[in-house]
Structure 1
Amino acid sequence: MAKRVAFIVSLLLHPLLMPTIGLLVIFSTQSHVTFIPFEYRRMVTIIVLVSTCILPLSIMPLFLQMGIMKTMQMETAKERIVPLLTTSVFFLLGYFFLGKFQLPTFIPVFILGTLLAALLSMCISFFWKISIHMVGIGGLWGALLSLSVKYGINTFLWMLAVIAVAGMVGSCRLILGAHTPKQVYAGFGLGLMVICSLVYVYY
């Protein structure tokens, strides 16, 4: 029963959904950094959802058929290398499409951060299996922390919620035997550092 619940949680909070979830959370802060008209929000959300989730998922059956992946869970580190590389290309495509819009810099920087985190995860996967679930959640927490520290925007409740979700997802990955505690903590730390570092560089 515990493993079934852990699997469902891992699926609902899949790493490919995190950029879109993160974007919606950032929009919900209603800050001057993220304020754009509703139509822009809708178009940006659609672009991010398609480029960071729908397109990467659509190519997974091909990788299964080619034997690049043995399962959708990608249980070994090396199985993740090609999917992460392809996912990064789609992330880059989404980032360039966002450049067509007049957006506050924080939003494309956040998407750029997800791209960089995916590339770093791919590089790490050559020799170690880092938790990509936690990379995504760590990146979201880093974005909220950056909004709070850099601009004084009150994201305290969201940060509490995200850290609680991070604990839940990390526990689920451990219950499933997908990762060790070190891989879980490293994933969260990587996502956090990438986003915070990019915000510091761009601002």
Structure 2
Amino acid sequence: MNKIAHIFSWILSPVLIPTYAVFVALWVTLLSFLPVDARWGVVAMTWVITCAIPVVAILLLYKFKVISAPGLNQQKERYIPYVVTALCYLGCGLYMYRAHAPMWLVMFMVGGAAAAFVSCFINIWWKISAHGAAMGGLLALMFRILVDGLNVIDIWPLISITILLTGILGSARIVLNCHTFWQVIAGVANGFFWVFLLT
């Protein structure tokens, strides 16, 4: 059970969720009419900015013994990685803005950054779930696409799958003793609120 929980925690890591979200945005909205090569280029750049850079930063922090483990399970070790991740989200938003992406996609990144900064602040007292915040943000983006009529295909199957994966991920974090039930719920609510509000 723990092995499965670890797999879901890594596959649905907060540093990978922006890439998944941008992929969804580029394949289910009007943006799907852009050339395939251009879309894959944006997905790749999103991965570099919001995944590769934070992961390298975390590994460097681990190498220099600033943090005790790359998994960031210690509450007091999360501040620097959270801030780095939030800044990378903002950097990706700037990249998209300069690439003339629609403002709702730019603001998705801003919403993600806002959720990360809030998580960092709350983490002073309470270990709120960053995994939950990331999934909440992904779910909020899909609902925003639906509410604003941006989708060109039926997005409900993707929403249903995302809700299911959010539940599985939350359960995984609890099984691994990384978070309590309410820390997971608060994380999801945090991510959903900021992304839905700002996107």
Structure 1 length-normalised TM: 0.90
CA contact (8 A) 2:30 2:150 kept: no
The residue aligned with 1:54 is 52
Q: CA deviation at 1:68?
A: 2.3
The residue aligned with 1:26 is 25
C-alpha RMSD of matched pairs (Å): 1.6
Tell me how far apart the structure 1 counterparts of residues 178 and 168 of structure 2 sit (CA, whole Å): 14
Segment of structure 1 superposing worse, 94-103 or 180-189: 94-103
Tell me how far apart the structure 1 counterparts of residues 98 and 32 of structure 2 sit (CA, whole Å): 16
Q: CA deviation at 1:33?
A: 6.0
CA contact (8 A) 1:136 1:188 kept: yes
Segment of structure 1 superposing worse, 144-153 or 117-126: 144-153
Structure 2 length-normalised TM: 0.92
State the aligned residue count: 197
Q: CA deviation at 1:79?
A: 0.8
The residue aligned with 1:115 is 113
Tell me how far apart the structure 2 counterparts of residues 72 and 186 of structure 1 sit (CA, whole Å): 23
Matched, 1:197 2:197: yes
Tell me how far apart the structure 1 counterparts of residues 44 and 108 of structure 2 sit (CA, whole Å): 16
Tell me how far apart the structure 2 counterparts of residues 185 and 94 of structure 1 sit (CA, whole Å): 27
Q: CA deviation at 1:35?
A: 4.6
The alignment partner of 2:66 has SS state of: coil
CA contact (8 A) 1:68 1:82 kept: no
Unaligned runs of 5+ in 1: none
Inter-CA distance 3–76: structure 2 relative to 1 (3 Å threshold): same
Q: CA deviation at 1:114?
A: 1.5
CA contact (8 A) 1:33 1:106 kept: no
The residue aligned with 2:11 is 12
The amino acid that maps onto 1:5 is I
Q: CA deviation at 1:143?
A: 0.6
Q: CA deviation at 1:180?
A: 0.1
The residue aligned with 1:69 is 67
Q: CA deviation at 1:65?
A: 2.9
The amino acid that maps onto 1:166 is T
The alignment partner of 2:148 has SS state of: helix
The residue aligned with 2:156 is 156
CA contact (8 A) 2:122 2:128 kept: yes
The residue aligned with 1:184 is 184
Tell me how far apart the structure 2 counterparts of residues 90 and 149 of structure 1 sit (CA, whole Å): 27
Q: CA deviation at 1:43?
A: 2.1
1:68-119 Cα deviation digits (max 9, x unpaired): 2111121122211011112222222222222221222221111222122211
Match of 1:83 among 81, 84, 87: 81
CA contact (8 A) 1:6 1:176 kept: yes
CA contact (8 A) 1:130 1:187 kept: yes
Match of 1:37 among 35, 38, 41: 35
The amino acid that maps onto 1:89 is L
1:133-187 Cα deviation digits (max 9, x unpaired): 1111110110111111122744211110000000110111111011000001011
Identity %: 27
Inter-CA distance 105–40: structure 2 relative to 1 (3 Å threshold): farther
